[in-house]
Amino acid sequence: MKRRDFIKSAFALSAFGTQVPVMALGRKNQFGRIVQWDTDRIIVLIKLNGGNDGLNTIIPTQDDIYYNARPSLAISPNDALTIDEQNGFHPNLSAFHSLYQSGNMSLIHGIGYPQPNLSHFRSSDIWVTGSDADQYLQTGWIGRLLEQEYPDFPSNAPEHPLAIQFNSANLLEFKTSGSNTGMMVFDPETMYNLINGNYVAGEDDPAPDTYGGTELDFVREVDLLSFEYAEVINETAGQGSNSVEYPETNLGYQMALTAQMISGGLGTPIYRIYQSGYDTHADQNNDHSNLLLDLNNAVLAFMEDLSNQGLLDRVMVVTTSEFGRRYFENGSTGTDHGSSAPCMVFGSQVVPEMFGEQPSLSNLDQNNNLFIQHDFRQLYTSIITDWFGLDTEISTNVFGQQFVTIPFVQTPLSVRTTPIPAKFKMHPAIPNPFNPSTMLSYTLPNNGNVTIRLLDLRGHVLKTHPLGKQNAGRNIFKLDGRNLASGSYIAQVEAAGSVLNQKITLLK
């Protein structure tokens, strides 16, 4: 194989475990967003790894069976943060409480799947592959989703990672039949420091004071520099920032990093975060409470951060888990594996309601576990069709059947608030990429003033060309890049009371 072809089509891994190709030129589609880049929507999925105890997260404050079955674990109606008559939040979820009341949170009860499997691995696999309990799929639902947008993946992949996963080496969720669309960041703290220039290789795990250690240091240094998406992530995330302090926990780092990447303009639409420790078979009180507190604080910081930066409208956060836990406590003041559990959705574009209700603790399945109220694939289908605004055919292709959506998404993919006159158009710049100049062209419905601006990817105006009055019809403007550095820019045309943008790339 010629080296050129290898680089374009093969995989390359880094310290962070990516399995992505070297960057190629972008492609126009919903995710590429070359023309309408500022309407990206993003989903942040948080897996509560181990099986979250839903009943102690959203407490059934009126259910006697709950209180009888959990003498040491049940949370009293006084301690719970009241949602309504039947429901209360765990006391550590104060931020969730406020978010729900301020209309930024949605609650969905009873998410699971028929014939629940009580094994971590198997149940997790079912969730990530989006299969039935008796199916064994080898690809992930996100993989099958992204594959429809990028059929040749990894050829013709965009410049940014399609999906980023933190903290788990299991990339099955993003696996396609030929490849894997997920990029793994196994060490978010390292990556965070790397982007922000604070990283010292091996600082948290110093190499031994031997020749073996010396060589290890060397390999670690090369490792950092070989990180495949280093360029685009450093460029974008490096320009992003956090406007609040995040908890200094593993989850906190993951969310801080996600927010920073979004803030910097990284085009990745899907993030998967892992928070581990939910497998609370013993001494659940402390462990679960601490986890929920961490989750509470991290999500709050994230929401505030994005809100401060005006990014919240584009982002939705969803918690998932491979199963819930039993309604009764075991002999070790813990709970064992169960079936369904609630999911929580956060964002400014969610319907602030509860979908479903507290599960019945008397009417149970053959394993004495809770019946499901919603299939998890309904949750994912809603994300695909309502949040990302994709065709139902796409979600049907992902899951092999059509699932009824859960209407927790408030608005469809955002449309422009100012209607553009039917004939004001911007045509693709030619050439693009370019060096040293390119022709921007646009069509005006009427004679009018036109201003052309050049912006960087973060939206800062670099140059302004007030063109004055231009004629109706098609016009051309030559943009000279001789004094610019190589890279991507936004060419913006303002006319007829509207603004149109287009991404152009200078390659010297």
Partner 1 sequence: MSSLPLSRRAFFKGGKASRPDLDRLNPNWPTKRVAKLIRNNLKKNSPIYHPPKVDELPPVLPVTHSTESLQVVDWDMGAARHLLCRTMFGPKYPEIKEASENPLETELSSILSTVSLPDPPGEWVYEPAPQWDALTGEEIQELMNQYREWMGELRYWWMKGMMRNPINIQEMITLFWHNYFATAQSKVFFPQAMYQQNSVFRQFGLGNFKELLRQVTFGPAMMIWLDIHQSKDVEPNENFPRELLELFTMGVDNYTQDDIVEAARAFTGYRTNGVETNYSFEEASGSGPWWNEWHDFEEKTFLGQTGNWNGDDIINIIMEQDATAVHICTRLYKWFVYQNVDETIVNEMADIFRNNDYSITTVLYFLFSTEHFYDENFRGADIQNPLTLMQGLIRKCGMEEFHFSLYYFIHSQEFLGMLPLEPPDVSGWPGYRSWINSITLPVRKVQASSVITGQSPWGNFDVTTNVRALAQSMYDQNEEGYASEQIVRKLGFLFFGNPLSENLEGRMLSVLLDGAEPYDWAINAPPNNPQWDRMRDLMVYIMRVPEFQLS
For partner 1, the closer of residues 189 and 304 by Cβ is 189
Both structure tokens of 270 = 């899907």
- Report DSSP state, residue 206: P
Q: Rule CB under 8 A: is residue 485 a binding residue for partner 1?
A: no
**CB distance 450 to 467 below 8 Å:** yes
Q: Rule CB under 8 A: is residue 228 a binding residue for partner 1?
A: yes
Q: Rule CB under 8 A: is residue 8 a binding residue for partner 1?
A: no
Q: What's the one-letter identity of residue 35?
A: V
Both structure tokens of 334 = 């813990």
For partner 1, the closer of residues 13 and 472 by Cβ is 13
For partner 1, the closer of residues 176 and 501 by Cβ is 176
How many residues bind partner 1, per CB under 8 A?
A: 55
Site for partner 1 (CB under 8 A): which residue of 151, 212, 412, 431? Answer: 212
Strand partners, 343: 108
- Residue 372 exposed, middle or buried by CB count within 10 Å (0-12, 13-18, 19+): buried
What's the closest the beta carbon of residue 120 comes to partner 1, in angstroms?
4
What's the closest the beta carbon of residue 470 comes to partner 1, in angstroms?
42
Site for partner 1 (CB under 8 A): which residue of 26, 50, 116, 182? Answer: 50
- Per-residue contact track with partner 1, 81 to 120, x per CB under 8 A? --------------------------------------xx
Stretch near partner 1 under the rule CB under 8 A, chosen from 89-97, 163-171, 253-261, 381-389: 163-171
Q: Rule CB under 8 A: is residue 152 a binding residue for partner 1?
A: no
Sign of CA dihedral 465, 468, 473, 476: negative
For partner 1, the closer of residues 107 and 318 by Cβ is 318
Stretch 57-76 residues interacting with partner 1 (CB under 8 A) = none
368 φ, ψ to 5°? 60, 35
CA distance 4 to 104: 49
CA distance 263 to 258: 8
Name the pairing type of β-strands 270-276 and 163-166.
Answer: parallel
252 φ, ψ to 5°? -60, -45
What is the residue-wise DSSP string for 393-404?
A: HHHHHHHSS--P
For partner 1, the closer of residues 278 and 388 by Cβ is 278
Stretch near partner 1 under the rule CB under 8 A, chosen from 212-220, 367-375, 415-423, 430-438: 212-220
Q: Rule CB under 8 A: is residue 476 a binding residue for partner 1?
A: no
The 10 Å Cβ neighbour count of residue 379 is: 21
Q: Rule CB under 8 A: is residue 207 a binding residue for partner 1?
A: yes
CA distance 173 to 406: 21
What's the closest the beta carbon of residue 226 comes to partner 1, in angstroms?
4
Helix, strand, coil shares, percent, the chain, to 5: 30, 25, 45
Site for partner 1 (CB under 8 A): which residue of 84, 85, 134, 209? Answer: 209
Site for partner 1 (CB under 8 A): which residue of 220, 425, 453, 463? Answer: 220
What's the closest the beta carbon of residue 350 comes to partner 1, in angstroms?
27
Site for partner 1 (CB under 8 A): which residue of 33, 77, 91, 122? Answer: 122
CA distance 412 to 431: 34
What's the closest the beta carbon of residue 191 comes to partner 1, in angstroms?
14
What's the closest the beta carbon of residue 371 comes to partner 1, in angstroms?
24
What's the closest the beta carbon of residue 286 comes to partner 1, in angstroms?
16
Distance of CA 414 to the CA centre of its chain: 18
3-state secondary structure 33-84: CCCCHHHCCEEEEEEEECCCCHHHCEEECCCHHHHHHCCCCCCCCCCCEECC
Q: Rule CB under 8 A: is residue 216 a binding residue for partner 1?
A: yes
Q: Rule CB under 8 A: is residue 205 a binding residue for partner 1?
A: yes
CA distance 238 to 264: 7
- Per-residue contact track with partner 1, 258 to 297, x per CB under 8 A? ----------------x-x-xx-x----------------
What is the residue-wise DSSP string for 132-185?
A: -TT---SS-HHHHHHHHH-TTTTTT--SS-SEEEES-S--GGGB-SS-B-EEEE
The residue to which tokens 């407490």 are assigned: 59
Stretch near partner 1 under the rule CB under 8 A, chosen from 54-62, 91-99, 201-209, 409-417: 201-209
- Per-residue contact track with partner 1, 374 to 413, x per CB under 8 A? ----------------------------------------
Sign of CA dihedral 20, 22, 23, 27: negative
Q: Rule CB under 8 A: is residue 328 a binding residue for partner 1?
A: no
> Closest Cα to residue 104, out of 310, 347, 395?
347
For partner 1, the closer of residues 216 and 439 by Cβ is 216
Both structure tokens of 136 = 């064994």
Both structure tokens of 3 = 């080296």
Both structure tokens of 341 = 């559990």
CA distance 467 to 316: 40
What's the closest the beta carbon of residue 272 comes to partner 1, in angstroms?
13
What's the closest the beta carbon of residue 337 comes to partner 1, in angstroms?
10
Write out the residues near partner 1 by the rule CB under 8 A.
1-4, 6-7, 10-15, 17, 22, 49-51, 119-122, 124-125, 168-170, 172, 186, 204-205, 207-216, 218-223, 225-226, 228, 274, 276, 278-279, 281, 322
